[in-house]
Amino acid sequence: MEAISPGSAVYLEAIIAAQAATIMRLEAVIQEQDKRLRERDTRIEELEALVRNLQMRSKQDSSTSSKPPSSDPPWIKSARKKKPKSGKPSGGQPGHRAHARALAPSEEVTETVHHVPEKCRHCDELLTGDNDVADALQRHQISELPPIKIVITEHQIHARACTSCGKITKAKLPEHVHKSVFGPHLQAEVSHLIGNCHLSRRGAIKYAAESWGTPISMGSIHRIEQNASQALEVPYNEALEAVKAAPVRHADETGWPQNGNRGWLWTIGCVIATVFTIAGSRAGEVFTSLMGIMVQEGYFVTDRYRGYCDVEMRRRGICHAHIKRDFAKIEAQGGIFALLGGALLFQHARMFALWHRHKSGEMSLEELRIALTPIKWKMYRLLKHGRRRRHKKIAGMCSDMLRHWFAFWTFTWVPGMEPTNNAAEQSLRKAVLWRKGCFGTRSTAGSLFAERMLTVTETCRKNKRNVLEYLSTAIKAALFGNSAPQLILSA
């Protein structure tokens, strides 16, 4: 074989080929390292996002999220309660308006006992009726609950044999006697204790035994609930139609377990009525199905949950209490976000100050709309600035607010619309208290009773009606096959 001299062309080509192979191997190594670095960068970004998310969640409380105040840690609760002491003694302050129990009118007094002085305490002179001082009469009333004793009426159905044909004829119960073993008022009391006072079913059984002296089984409790549910079907539909026809409604939803599965309790309310429905889903179809074609009529105040997207944006009002919590959440991130969130909260506070002036009658709705114009555009620019930030969560939050921007200000031109969804949240609060005690419902029939009881009790409150009286009348009517009385009194 011919030796390759160092200066020959073949030698140079061999060196070049070897260097090219080395470069290719190095490029492959570099590409592999670059790939690994990119993967690590991606992983680092994911972990940083996870850390930011966990930090954000750790800072959340009832003021920066929809969590209830009862879930706040003790140190947050105690920090909020810290207020400078005034140095005044506890209790009523000198000059404050007295709050005393009002005396019942004379026609409501069951018994009147007269206490008359017989002789003068100063000189022992005898006193007669001629010495009465009418202006000095003092009235002292004592309200007492008499011992409750169940009234049991026994209907004995006799049978007689005919002397002519020998056959036996049994008597029939009169039409005014229903077949239930519990009277309408007792059934209304049980339904009232469970569905309005949120007493547990076992608690209602104990109360009936100890207070009324009558035993009631768990099966009887369920039958009473079903009787009440059937009696309230028409009033429930009446409340639903009133809500559908209202110009402004408030809607919200919360969890409600059903038979061990996750469920949802929806509420939609207006000035004179509130309706509840329990469903197995939080999807917007539940809301749309409940409202029907009226979903595109009137206005709705909601949060920014996508389940309400079937409502046109021009017919929606966004709850500013939720917006305030989101602004506080931005501020809690610290750094540049503390400045951004603080500026948004400042403008938001100015907005509410103007709103309270409008509510007090100091300015009209048109004047409010004009006064809010500079505040609106300052908030708009701040949200656009937040949308451009690299923080994915904050940027997404700001983008979502800008998508709902038009609905932020619907309350400024719709008479009767509030800037918050407090009406719906207050209605749900009563349901949440019930849910905490009963842990939801175990059947469709139980859910039906819950939603109808919640609807009727809340609507009665809005119409200033006695809930127990209405339940008693409705159940009595149902026992005899009659319609329930009208639920909504106000037009």
The model's pLDDT over 415-424, given as tens digits with 9 standing for 90+, comes to 989 999 999 9
Which helix (H) or strand (E) is 12 found in, with range?
helix 9-58
Same domain for 399 and 250: no
Distance, CA of 315 to CA of 299 (rounded, Å): 5
| Within a domain: 407 | yes
Domain of 294, CATH number, reads: 3.30.420
- 151 pLDDT exceeds 60? yes
| Within a domain: 450 | yes
Same domain for 404 and 258: no
Q: First vs last Cα of the chain: how many Å apart?
A: 115
Q: Which of these three, 349, 380, 412, is where a domain ends?
A: 412
232-246: average pLDDT? 94
Amino acid at 474: A
- 479 pLDDT exceeds 50? yes
Same domain for 432 and 308: yes
192-220: average pLDDT? 91
Same domain for 328 and 292: no
Same domain for 260 and 403: no
- 116 pLDDT exceeds 90? no
Same domain for 324 and 398: yes
Distance of CA 456 to the CA centre of its chain: 16
| Within a domain: 308 | yes
| Within a domain: 446 | yes
Domain that holds residue 408: 320-412
Same domain for 297 and 261: yes
| Within a domain: 369 | yes
Same domain for 358 and 339: yes
Q: Which two tokens stand for residue 485?
A: 């009385």
- 460 pLDDT exceeds 70? yes
Q: Among the listed ranges 174-178, 399-403, 429-433, which one has the minimum average pLDDT value?
A: 174-178
Q: How confident is the model at residue 61 (pLDDT cuts 50, 70, 90)?
A: low
| Within a domain: 118 | no
Q: How confident is the model at residue 1 (pLDDT cuts 50, 70, 90)?
A: very low
Q: Which of these three, 378, 412, 446, is where a domain ends?
A: 412
Same domain for 457 and 376: no
Q: Is the overall model pTM greater than 0.95, yes or no? A: no
Q: Which two tokens stand for residue 262?
A: 């996750």
Residues ≥6 apart with Cβ < 8 Å to 99 = none
Tens digit of each residue's pLDDT (9 = 90 or more) over 334-376: 888 889 999 999 999 999 999 999 999 999 999 999 999 999 9
Same domain for 441 and 407: no
Residue 103, Cβ density class (10 Å: 0-12 exposed, 13-18 middle, ≥19 buried): exposed
> What phi, psi does 100 have (nearest 5°)?
-115, 155
Q: Which two tokens stand for residue 114?
A: 């007269």
Same domain for 260 and 398: no
* Phi-psi domain of 125 (left: phi exceeds 0; alpha: psi -120 through 50; beta: other): beta
- Is pLDDT larger for residue 180 or for residue 247? 247
| Within a domain: 227 | no
- 75 pLDDT exceeds 70? no
Same domain for 379 and 257: no
| Within a domain: 93 | no
163-181: average pLDDT? 86
Task: Tally the domains of the chain.
Answer: 2
Most confident of 97-106, 112-121, 142-151, 228-237: 228-237
